[in-house]
Amino acid sequence: MLDYSDILSEIEKRIGTKYKTDPDILNLPGSSLACKIDPFYYLALYPIFIINLAKWCKMKPEIIKDTLIRTGNLLKSNQDEYVLSLSVKWTQEMQPIKINSIFVLADFIDSSLKIYARKREILSVSELKIMEQDKKKVEDFFTEKTSVTDVAYTN
């Protein structure tokens, strides 16, 4: 039987130690695996976020995904969906791009950075924005959960 708390600790450790050597893994739209979109959530690229965590932890991606879902750090909708196809951009001038994304709790990633990367301050909200046209899709995903704040959206 899997010990999800041990696996979760390993994931946290790997995120923090990887960030110490390569801070571009987070919060740099266009090249990072995940970007903070509001104070509560990171938007992560799927499946590459899970694949990289699995590689860093030397575990199967299914174990990483299952652990994050079971511990509540990777969000699921009421219909058990966890991947959303969203249009995003990070500058006003650029055309939106469509990405497969997952929502990861900011507290999970931020605490990983505090503990294992010894980062004193949490990362600020990134420039990555979800297109306003997808707001209803996101709100439907977050039914009965704390939804993404308006700072995450752009026209």
Single-letter code of the amino acid located at 101: S
Per-residue pLDDT, 1? 74
> Helix %, strand %, coil % for the chain, to 5?
40, 20, 40
Q: Where are the alpha helices (DSSP H) in the chain?
A: 4-21, 48-57, 61-70, 106-116, 135-141
User: What are the structure tokens assigned to 3, written together?
Assistant: 């010990």
**3-class DSSP state of 150:** helix
Task: Give the pTM.
Answer: 0.94
C-alpha distances in Å from residue 82, one per residue of 13, 17, 22, 114: 23, 26, 27, 26
Low-confidence ranges of the chain (pLDDT < 70): none
pLDDT, residue 78, reads 78
- Predicted local distance difference test score (pLDDT) of residue 41: 98
pLDDT score at 2:
81
